[in-house]
């Protein structure tokens, strides 16, 4: 567990480098924004999260890659992560923020589509 990174993960870096290259400036892991989003565009009130499939429950919801050992512990832990993500989304939305969440596989396979969605959202505000 000690090796699991909470910030500056490879998927965050992929997303950030592409945004930076296109001229977008942001704050990373802003402590003053609820949930410490991976990227924050404060003036536009946009919070972006880059979520891994395992830790944020995509695999659990799809019924694949459920750990074979200590299953009860892992399922409980991942379900709490899913619940926390929903709480963070709701709190940010209640405070007037737009929240975008991207799965790791989408960032790796469809990076340009993720960037385009961020750009569209920024241009709407």
Per-residue pLDDT for the chain (125 aa), expressed as one digit of tens each?
555 656 778 999 999 999 999 999 999 999 999 999 999 999 999 999 999 888 888 888 887 778 888 889 999 999 999 999 999 999 999 999 999 999 999 999 999 999 999 999 999 97
The tokens 């619940």 sit on which residue?
A: 83
User: Which is nearest to 33 in space by CA: 92, 90, 84?
Assistant: 92
Q: For residues 83 and 89, what is the distance between their CA atoms, to the nearest angstrom?
A: 10
CA dihedral sign, ordered 97, 118, 55, 27: negative
- 26 C-beta neighbours (distance < 10 Å), count: 20
Backbone angles phi, psi at 99, to 5 degrees: -115, 130
Coil, helix or strand for 66? Answer: coil
In sequence order, what are the residues at sequence separation of 6 or more whose Cβ sits closer than 8 angstroms to the Cβ of residue 115? Answer: 15, 18, 19, 22
Residue 40's pLDDT is 97
Coil, helix or strand for 65? Answer: coil
Domains of the chain: 10-120 (3.40.960.10)
pTM to 2 decimal places: 0.89
Distances (CA, A) of 67 to 14, 39, 91: 28, 30, 31
Q: For residues 74 and 83, what is the distance between their CA atoms, to the nearest angstrom?
A: 14
Q: What percent of the chain has pLDDT over 70?
A: 95
Residue 1's pLDDT is 58
């Amino acid at each position: 567990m000690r090796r699991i990174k909470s910030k500056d993960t490879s998927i965050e870096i992929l997303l950030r480098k592409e945004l930076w290259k296109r001229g977008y400036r942001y704050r990373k892991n802003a402590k003053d924004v609820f949930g410490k989003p991976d990227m924050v565009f404060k003036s536009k009130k946009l919070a972006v999260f880059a979520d891994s499939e395992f830790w944020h429950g995509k695999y659990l919801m799809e019924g694949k890659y459920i750990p074979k050992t200590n299953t009860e512990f892992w399922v409980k832990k991942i379900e709490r992560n899913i619940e926390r993500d929903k709480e963070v989304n709701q709190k940010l939305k209640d405070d007037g923020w737009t929240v975008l969440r991207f799965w790791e596989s989408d960032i790796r396979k469809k990076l340009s589509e993720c960037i385009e969605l961020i750009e569209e959202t920024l241009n709407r505000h």
